[in-house]
Amino acid sequence: LLGDAKRLGLSDGTPDQEAALGLYMKAAELGLPSANLLLGLWYEATSAQWACSQPNQDVAAFYYTQGMNAGCMRCLAALGALHLHGRLQVSDRSAGLQMLEVAADHGEPHAQEILRRRAAAAAMFAPELGQPGEDRPSSIWSGLSFLD
C-alpha cells in the first residue's frame, strides 16, 4: 500500500501519518480489508508509532467490522478483543469471545494468543474451578471479569 510508504517515510524519508491515513481511508472505501485493519489500529491507538491523537474505540470497531465483513480474520480478532475486554460503549463479552474463537479456529495468531492467555489466567487464579467453558456453577465464576 502507498499508505504504508507514507506512514513509514519510505517515499521521501519523512513519515507522513496524515497522508497515510487519507490513503488508507480511500483504500477502505474501495473495499481493501487490510486498510480497514490499519484504520482500526489507528483509532484504537495501541501503537506508539501509528496512533490517532484522539483514540476512539467505537470508530476502531466500525473499521474492524468493515474488514471482518470483507473476510479479514485479524479484524474479527481485534473486534472480538474490544468486546471481550469491555472497551466499547456497548460491549458484548460473550460475542467477543465467540469472535475470538472463530478467528482462532481459522488460524489467526492474535486471537489464538488472547485465548491462550485467558486460559492460562483462569488456570492460575482458579485452578480448582476448572477451565472456562466447563460445566460449573455460574455463581462461582461470575466475579472473575477476566473470564467474561
103 vs 2, more confident: 103
Is residue 78's pLDDT more than 90? yes
Number of residues written out for the chain:
148
Per-residue pLDDT of 117-126, as tens digits, reads 999 988 888 7
Residue-wise DSSP of 80-98: HHHHHTT-STT--HHHHHH
Single pTM value for the model: 0.79
Percent of residues, the chain, with pLDDT higher than 70: 84
Q: Which three cell numbers stand for residue 119?
A: 486460559
Is residue 106's pLDDT more than 60? yes
